[in-house]
Amino acid sequence: MQEINLKMGALYMKLVSWNVNGLRACLKKGFLDAFTHIDADVFCLQETKMERGQAEIDLGGYHEYWNSADKKGYSGTAVFSKIEPLSVSYGMGIDEHDREGRIIRLEFEKFFLVNVYTPNAQRELTRLPYRLRWEDDFREYVCGLDKIKPAIICGDLNVAHQEIDIKNAKSNMRNAGFTQAERDKMTQLLDAGFTDFYRNLHPDKHDAYTWWSLMPGVRERNVGWRIDYFLGSDRLGAHVSDATIYADIYGSDHCPVGLSISCE
């Protein structure tokens, strides 16, 4: 098993998150090349749409953790880690939320890492009431972790938090992922003691997106949304050296995002 990277005497980790929109499909579109090129210490996936063993994946040197939905071919998360965590858990302990394989929590020496695929409010906002319940319960869950040791949250949070995080803000105000209710829940999470690391490092960066519609020409024109994040305990901010959007990596309608962190 590969040793943890060391940098300037500190524990240095490169974390990456990617909504692959179906891992079996992404494997046919260069997933392994991207995985090898990025070479993360911990690689978190969302929307895997599969169970472990349904595809042949050779990721030598990584521990694998899977959380699949009860419904076949739907949702799901996975984590591949060079570093064996102290503990792993699945879901947030609430049956209503834990049937869709949306959360994997890994405990490392210095922090918790929560890989999450937040429910979409869906067209006509049919699932918005459930989504808002999820947000309150998830906030309570991660705040509980943060009381024990610092927590990092990564994944597809299915919300563009601010107007800077979406290309066409005015025309999307009533659409899933940019309603005021969803954006307010994101604000509440940040106000509870968490930092949006990319926006903290790049406060004025426009046109930085992580998801694009599959309609022709949309990604080429960069008409996108930033809905994939690394958030973390405010007290980790000084330890974050970089937050990255890998916009040049294809294979999904999302691109990977990354975080570099060192902990004394």
Is residue 137 flagged as an active site residue?
Answer: no
What does the DSSP assignment read for 202-262? -TT--S--SEE-SSTTTTTTT-EE--EEEEEEGGGGGGEEEEEE-TT--SSSB--EEEEEE
Is residue 117 flagged as an active site residue?
Answer: yes
Tens of pLDDT along 60-80? 899 999 999 999 999 999 999
Tens of pLDDT along 76-112? 999 999 999 999 999 999 999 999 999 999 999 999 9
Residue 10 pLDDT: 60
Please state the φ and ψ torsions of residue 239, each to the nearest 5 degrees.
-95, -5
Burial code of 41-72, b = ≥16 C-beta within 10 A, e = fewer?
A: bbbbbbbbbbbeeeeebeeeebbebbbbbeee
Out of 117, 198, 209, 229, pick the active-site residue.
Answer: 117
Place of tokens 């739907």: 74
Residue 5 has pLDDT above 70, yes or no: no
Mean pLDDT of 136-140: 98
Q: What pTM did the predictor assign?
A: 0.95
Out of 41, 146, 156, 196, pick the active-site residue.
Answer: 156
CB 229 within 8 Å of CB 157 = yes
CB 67 within 8 Å of CB 91 = yes
Residue 11 pLDDT: 74
Q: How far apart are CA 230 and CA 196, in angstroms?
A: 6
